[in-house]
C-alpha cells in the first residue's frame, strides 16, 4: 500500500468511528506520530494529507514527536508547510529550552516540576504554550504519566500557571488485546476530563483508535498505520 492509501485508510477508520459514536465528521483530529521517520517522509505525509483533505470539514493533520532530538532535527525542514508540532514523549528538564524552540504544544506534562519549568521558560520567551496533562490510565509501570488520582491536582497546578494553556488530557492505552480493558482506560480519561470541564482528549493509536473515538477522543495519534512498521 502507498502512503496515500494508508492515510486514506486511517481517515476512513476515523470517519467510521465518528459515525458509529454519533459524532460529527471532523470532530477528531489526526496527529501523525512521526518517530523514526525522517523529514522527507514527514513532508511526504503532510503533502499527501493536504492533497487528500480538500474537504473543509476535515482539519489538517498535526505532527507529534516523541524525542526533542528528533523534533529539533526535523522541524526546521518543515517550516514552509507550517505544521502544528506537538511533543508527545517524555520531556527531561535539560531539554525544555530546545523543545520550546519548536513545539506548539507539549502533551506529556506529568509533573508540577515540569509544568513550572515550562511556565518559567515561556515567561522568558514572552509566549504561551498549549499543554496536555499525560495520565497513566493503565497503571503499567513502563508508562509515563501522572496517576489518575493525582490528575485533577496537577491540572489545577497547570491552570495556575498563566503561561500555560491546559488544552486537555493525554494517555497511552493499555498494552493489551483485551478491547474492553483498553476502552475502560479511555473511559477513565474521559471522566477525568469531564471533571475538569470540557477538555480535549488525546488518546488512541493505530491499534486502538476506534475504542478511543468511541470514548470521546478529540485527537488520535497514529504512526505505524500511516508510515508502516518501524524498523
Ligand X SMILES: *Cc1c(COP(=O)(O)O)cnc(C)c1O
Contacting residues toward ligand X, per CB under 6 A: 33, 35, 66, 88-89, 172, 205-207, 221-225
DSSP letter, residue 37: -
117 within 8 A of 163, measured Cβ to Cβ: no
| Least spacing, CB of residue 229 vs ligand X, in Å | 9
| Least spacing, CB of residue 144 vs ligand X, in Å | 9
Measured from the CB atom, is 33 or 155 closer to ligand X? Answer: 33
Measure the CA dihedral 102/105/108/114, to 10°: 80
Measured from the CB atom, is 63 or 172 closer to ligand X? Answer: 172
- In whole angstroms, what is the distance from residue 104 CA to residue 214 CA? 27
| Least spacing, CB of residue 170 vs ligand X, in Å | 8
- In whole angstroms, what is the distance from residue 37 CA to residue 123 CA? 32
| Least spacing, CB of residue 209 vs ligand X, in Å | 8
Smallest Cα–Cα separation from 166: which of 112, 208, 205, 98? 112
| Least spacing, CB of residue 187 vs ligand X, in Å | 19
Which stretches of 21-88 are DSSP H helices?
A: 39-52, 68-74
Measured from the CB atom, is 169 or 222 closer to ligand X? Answer: 222
Q: Which residue is closest to ligand X by CB? A: 223
Measured from the CB atom, is 119 or 221 closer to ligand X? Answer: 221
How far from the centroid of its chain's Cα atoms is residue 59's Cα? 15
Measured from the CB atom, is 163 or 190 closer to ligand X? Answer: 190
Grid coordinates belonging to 37: 521517520
The residue written with cell numbers 494529507 in the block is 49
Amino acid at each position: 500500500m502507498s502512503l496515500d492509501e494508508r492515510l486514506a485508510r486511517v481517515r476512513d477508520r476515523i470517519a467510521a468511528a465518528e459515525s458509529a459514536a454519533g459524532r460529527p465528521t471532523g470532530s477528531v483530529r489526526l496527529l501523525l506520530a512521526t518517530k523514526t521517520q525522517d523529514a522527507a517522509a514527514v513532508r511526504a505525509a503532510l503533502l499527501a494529507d493536504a492533497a487528500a483533505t480538500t474537504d473543509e470539514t476535515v482539519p489538517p493533520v498535526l505532527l507529534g514527536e516523541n524525542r526533542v532530538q528528533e523534533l529539533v532535527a526535523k522541524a526546521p525542514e518543515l517550516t514552509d508547510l507550517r505544521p502544528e508540532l506537538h511533543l508527545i514523549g517524555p520531556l527531561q528538564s535539560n531539554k525544555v529550552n530546545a523543545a520550546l524552540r519548536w513545539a506548539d504544544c507539549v502533551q506529556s506534562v506529568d509533573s508540577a516540576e515540569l509544568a513550572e519549568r515550562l511556565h518559567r521558560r515561556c515567561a522568558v520567551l514572552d509566549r504561551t504554550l498549549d499543554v496536555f496533562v499525560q495520565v497513566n490510565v493503565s497503571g503499567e509501570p513502563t508508562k509515563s504519566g501522572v496517576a489518575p488520582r493525582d490528575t485533577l491536582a496537577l491540572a489545577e497546578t497547570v491552570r495556575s500557571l498563566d503561561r500555560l494553556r491546559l488544552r486537555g488530557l493525554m494517555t497511552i492505552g493499555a498494552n493489551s488485546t483485551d478491547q474492553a480493558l483498553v476502552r475502560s482506560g479511555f473511559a477513565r480519561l474521559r471522566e477525568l476530563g469531564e471533571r475538569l470541564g470540557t477538555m480535549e482528549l488525546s488518546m488512541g493509536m493505530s491499534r486502538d483508535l476506534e475504542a478511543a473515538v468511541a470514548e470521546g477522543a478529540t485527537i488520535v495519534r497514529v504512526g505505524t498505520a500511516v508510515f508502516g512498521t518501524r524498523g
